[in-house]
Amino acid sequence: MPEVEGFWAVVPAGGAGTRLWPLSRAGHPKFLLDLTGTGRSLLQGTLDRLAPLTGDHVVVVTGAVHADAVRGQLPGLPADRVLAEPAPRDSMAAIGLAAAVVERTDPDAVIGSFAADHVIPDADAFRTAVREAVDVARGGHLVTLGVEPTHPATGFGYIRAGERLDGFPTALRAVEFVEKPDAERAAGYLAAGGYRWNAGMFVARATVLLDLLHTWHPDLADGLRAIAAEPSRLDELWPGLTRIAIDHAVAEPAAAAGHVDVVPPEGRRDDVGDFASLSALLPGGDGPHVLGDADAVTALGSSGLVVAGGARRVAVVGMDDVVVVDTPDAVLVTTRARAQEVKAVVDALRAEGREDLL
């Protein structure tokens, strides 16, 4: 499979993953973990999936505290392709900085931004969609990947799609971005048709993205280009950058102005937000799904998920839909149905001042 000429991947690697505690910690967050039992972290899996398109044309943007760990997991990537944010400034600054760096290297480059914590079972279909998005983006638009909804999810924002674009297999005009809806509105979107889930993946020429940003946030665009021109000014300029998400900064106003298209990728994508979605990604049989050493698990009359990460025996007896996560210094017991509430444990530990467990 040939590389896509002039295409660069931008991979923001961030997010606390607090609903995956105690597996995900501040020191080794979700994207650095092997959550699929493949021996590759989510970050490595993201780059593996993109490699046939990009080769090593990849820029990873991560927090300064994680930069060394990221470089350690990606030994094939030149060290200066891992950009370290001095502090989190939301997604526009992260992706925009990478865009500005790529723009200086390759003024005609098309970039695509793909979060480091996604799991995409059908990588071929994903790459087919990205190729189309790159082709569309060369024409000067911002292209977003929008997943065909299968149910009235309330956990995603939606994209309202309009007319077909001539000359492309699936591309549509993106008319409007809408925030995560309540259940009633989500059902309405599904009934109306023409809506896509916003997968948070954007493809555009680096220059187009920064020029669109300049239209609505000129200081932010100028600041990012200044850092790319003089990397030594990063610490000086970074704290003054506007803290805003790429959706609000560019995608929403650009869609309203008619500059955004949407390409529907086939198949599902999962951000592994909690132990329920993690469980769904793992092979299962009679008993619970197991991540880690299956030989360390004794499960009798049980279903759910066991994460065996503590080098200890984990025994589960008569538990339906249970989640047991064993780590060297903490063990979590909950159910897949309550998996969202794990965040409350992290909040409780923070309130206790137990940063060592976070």
Please report how close the Cβ of residue 117 comes to a copy of itself at its closest, in angstroms.
Answer: 22
Stretch that binds a copy of itself, among 77-85, 240-248, 276-284, 317-325 (CB under 8 A): 317-325
Using alpha carbons, select from 128, 145, 118, 116 the residue that is nearest to residue 204.
Answer: 145
By C-beta, is 239 or 318 nearer to a copy of itself? 318
Using alpha carbons, select from 168, 248, 169 the residue that is nearest to residue 216.
Answer: 248
Q: How far apart are CA 262 and CA 302, in angstroms?
A: 43
Question: What's the token pair of residue 40?
Answer: 């590759």
CB 311 within 8 A of CB 292: no
Q: Does 332 bind a copy of itself (CB under 8 A)?
A: yes
Stretch that binds a copy of itself, among 123-131, 182-190, 256-264, 325-333 (CB under 8 A): 325-333
By C-beta, is 245 or 331 nearer to a copy of itself? 331
Q: Does 357 bind a copy of itself (CB under 8 A)?
A: yes
Write out the binding residues for a copy of itself, residues 131-190 only, by CB under 8 A: none
Please identify which residue in 76, 317, 353, 355 interacts with a copy of itself, judged by CB under 8 A: 317
Question: What's the token pair of residue 343?
Answer: 């965040």
Please report how close the Cβ of residue 28 comes to a copy of itself at its closest, in angstroms.
Answer: 16
C-alpha angle with apex 68: 80 to 41, nearest 5 degrees? Answer: 100
Q: How far apart are CA 295 and CA 301, in angstroms?
A: 17
Helix (H, G, I), strand (E, B) or coil at 9: strand
Write out the binding residues for a copy of itself, residues 10-29 only, by CB under 8 A: 21-22
Q: Does 331 bind a copy of itself (CB under 8 A)?
A: yes
Residues 6+ apart with CB under 8 A from 7: 53, 54, 57, 109, 110, 111, 112, 134
By C-beta, is 207 or 327 nearer to a copy of itself? 327
Phi and psi angles of residue 350, each rounded to the nearest 5 degrees, phi first: -65, -40
Q: How far apart are CA 234 and CA 97, in angstroms?
A: 10
Please identify which residue in 194, 219, 328, 350 interacts with a copy of itself, judged by CB under 8 A: 328
Q: How far apart are CA 336 and CA 348, in angstroms?
A: 20
Q: How far apart are CA 198 and CA 189, in angstroms?
A: 13
**What would the x/- binding string for a copy of itself be over residues 296 to 315, using CB under 8 A?**
--x-xx--------x-xxxx
Q: How far apart are CA 182 and CA 165, in angstroms?
A: 30
Site for a copy of itself (CB under 8 A): how many residues?
35
Q: Does 322 bind a copy of itself (CB under 8 A)?
A: yes
Stretch that binds a copy of itself, among 40-48, 187-195, 222-230, 316-324 (CB under 8 A): 316-324
Please report how close the Cβ of residue 332 comes to a copy of itself at its closest, in angstroms.
Answer: 5
Provide the binding-site residues for a copy of itself, judged by CB under 8 A.
21-22, 298, 300-301, 310, 312-319, 322, 324, 326, 328-335, 337-338, 341-342, 344-345, 348-349, 354, 357
